[in-house]
Amino acid sequence: MYCRQCEQTAKGTGCTVRGVCGKTGEAADLQDILIYTLEGIAVYAEQLKASGIETREADGIMKEGLFTTITNVNFDPERIIGLIVLAGKIKDSLKQKHDNAGLKGPLPAPASFEPKNSVKDLLSQAANIKRIPDSDEDIVSLKEILLLGLKGMAAYADHAHVLGFEDKEVDAFFHKGLSSIADTSTSKEALLSLINEFGLVNFKCLELLDKANTTTFGHPEPTKVSVGPKKGPAIIVSGHDLLDLKQLLEQTEGKGINIYTHGEMLPALAYPELKKFKHLAGHFGTAWQNQKKEFDDIPAAILMTTNCIQEPLPSYKDRIFTTGLVAFPDVAHIPAQNGKKDFSEIIKKALDLKGFEKDGEQKHTTIGFARNSVMSAAGTVVKLVQDKKIRHFFLIGGCDGAKPGRNYYTELAEKAPRDAVILTLACGKFRFNTLDLGDIEGLPRLLDCGQCNDSYSAIMIALALAEAFKCSVNKLPLTIILSWYEQKAVCVLLTLLSLGINNIKLGPTLPAFVSPNVLKVISDNYGLKPITTADNDLAEALKR
């Protein structure tokens, strides 16, 4: 295997034996074959589209296949092989359309690739393919940036898809991007232009997901949330999928089971159509990387809805369930049938376990400051700035992780001056979201905008502030400091850069897949810099 797509990749260069995430070499190689097969689909789809021939049958596998290969989603070779076989059939169908249309000309290697059906044969094929076929370090880096961005966008597009929302431009760009990756004639200049275009398309995808969530569940409302267990049977829901949570809430109503969010599911507690369920009891635990400690030795069932799963400990492997695209070998999986899921198995497990014997310690955090809530208070915010009661805004958001160095974000929030407001989103907020940071004349100093999936909210808030002050985002008293771990963070960063937002700081470390020359181009053009220390970065920000 060779994988360097996450921030915690081995030695900061790449995992070559087993992923730091727990992914086996076998699973990694199968994921590479899946990507390679998707590239073949993209090559045919692009040529067919250019001839006016529809290829909508390829859109679903693009989203599912790319999402499957994101860090901490699918560790199960059997399920990955199922997607490879399906992708191979779709590619063959497109090839038939291509041949029937009489289209000619040379095609990149992935177009002629025929995946086998067995693990042994597929792993043999994996030794002879390169999902990025180039040798030039900078071209490989640019293509890897684009590929990882596409993976992140696939997650957002898939979340919108399960709620019934699609966008043809977003779907089409998966084909455009992957076919360019497969093509060895794609130049550096073309790739830079594609990456910029991708960022704008992903912004459209983020807008689509925001529309899907708010149409289905209502706009998030400021909500004080209890963090800690309560007496009684329990199911803890982790991941990102709001529809899974809603279906589980419907099926557990009146059964005496408390439902808790975990990790990135915390923002679900602010949606009106979810918070109306009285047995949605609050939040349990913190971010994804602490699940082994938090799920160990508790009398509760656990549902993993999307990415963020870690290899389960034996102590809870019999009471953790996966659904959707997330999967782990020998872990019970709950499939969908016509968009519906039967959660009776996990409900029975929760009742058999009997749950927590007594209430645990309760902390509190306030969530629900998505774009609708914050922008409705824009007048108050603007006046507080004009009256010099708010000096600066910090957007401190992104992924959390286990690698040392992330205490920087806690220190940053603690040391930010009392006249500064902190916007946050994604699981990085668990480093500081239960701190008492106070308020500024009734406006909380910490505004939780939601999941990483809710990046659209944070962007729209920044754009609204810029409009209110009649300046660009880059002229606002705003500093953006991001933490990254996986590929959704990559696609959000690319969107920010494509929107012309400059001088972002990124940490804890810079990506291994960015070559020195590509890093220099990004730094020179956009002012992207690594974090230093909390004191230095605060001092620099407050000089503005």
Q: With beta carbons less than 8 A apart as the criterion, state whether 527 and 514 touch.
A: no
Residue 203, phi then psi, degrees to nearest 5: -60, -40
Q: With beta carbons less than 8 A apart as the criterion, state whether 145 and 53 touch.
A: no
Classified as helix, coil or strand, 507 is strand
CA 389 – CA 358 distance, rounded (Å): 44
Tell me: the pLDDT tens digits for 269-285?
Answer: 999 999 999 999 999 99
CA 487 – CA 54 distance, rounded (Å): 29
Give the number of C-alpha atoms closer than 13 A to the C-alpha of residue 348, restricted to the C-beta side: 5
Helix (H) or strand (E) holding 86: helix 77-100
Asked if domains 10-216 and 370-542 share a fold, the reply is no
Tell me: the pLDDT tens digits for 192-218?
Answer: 999 999 999 999 999 999 999 999 999
Q: What is the average per-residue pLDDT within 492-509?
A: 97
When pLDDT is cut at 50, 70 and 90, the band that residue 544 belongs to is: confident
What is the pLDDT, as a whole number, of residue 209? 98
Topology of 10-216 in CATH?
A: Substrate Binding Domain Of Dnak; Chain:A; Domain 2 (1.20.1270)
Tell me: the pLDDT tens digits for 449-490?
Answer: 999 999 999 999 999 999 999 999 999 999 999 999 999 999
Reference 429, options 461, 462, 398, 394; nearest CA is: 398
What is the pLDDT, as a whole number, of residue 451? 96
Helix (H) or strand (E) holding 506: strand 505-507
What is the pLDDT, as a whole number, of residue 232? 98
How long is the chain?
A: 544
Helix (H) or strand (E) holding 235: strand 234-238
Q: Domain limits of the chain? A: 10-216, 223-353, 370-542
Question: Above pLDDT 70, what percent of the chain?
Answer: 100
Tell me: the pLDDT tens digits for 298-336?
Answer: 999 999 999 999 999 999 999 999 999 999 999 999 999
226's tokens? 């209890």
Q: With beta carbons less than 8 A apart as the criterion, state whether 146 and 79 touch.
A: no
Reference 159, options 326, 39, 289; nearest CA is: 326
Tell me: the pLDDT tens digits for 390-419?
Answer: 999 999 999 999 888 899 999 999 999 999
Distances (CA, A) of 347 to 228, 235, 249, 258, 314: 20, 8, 11, 11, 20
Whether residue 3 has pLDDT greater than 80: yes
Helix (H) or strand (E) holding 225: strand 223-227
CA 1 – CA 19 distance, rounded (Å): 9
What is the pLDDT, as a whole number, of residue 105? 84
Q: With beta carbons less than 8 A apart as the criterion, state whether 302 and 238 touch.
A: yes
191's tokens? 């790739």
When pLDDT is cut at 50, 70 and 90, the band that residue 294 belongs to is: very high
Residue 421, phi then psi, degrees to nearest 5: -105, 135
Q: Which CATH architecture has domain 223-353?
A: 3-Layer(aba) Sandwich (3.40)
| Average predicted confidence (pLDDT) for the chain | 96
Left if phi > 0, otherwise alpha if psi is -120 to 50, otherwise beta: which for 221?
beta
Peptide bond into 444 cis (omega under 30): no
Contacts of 328 (CB under 8 A, 6+ apart): 75, 76, 309, 311, 312, 322
CATH classification number, 370-542, choose in 2.60.120.620, 3.40.50.720, 3.40.50.2000, 3.40.50.2030: 3.40.50.2030
Reference 54, options 168, 208, 162; nearest CA is: 168
Residue 444, phi then psi, degrees to nearest 5: -55, 140
Tell me: the pLDDT tens digits for 105-135?
Answer: 889 999 999 999 899 999 999 999 999 999 9
What is the pLDDT, as a whole number, of residue 131? 92
What is the pLDDT, as a whole number, of residue 405? 87
Tell me which amino acid residue 468 is: A
Cα–Cα–Cα angle for 162, 163, 168, rounded to 5 degrees = 80
SS3 content of the chain, % helix, strand, coil (to 5): 50, 15, 35
197's tokens? 């275009």
What is the pLDDT, as a whole number, of residue 369? 97
CA 40 – CA 88 distance, rounded (Å): 9
Tell me which amino acid residue 490 is: V
DSSP per-residue string spanning 400-452: --SSTTTHHHHHHHHHS-TTEEEEE-SGGGGGTTTS---EETTEESEEE---G
Whether residue 89 has pLDDT greater than 90: yes
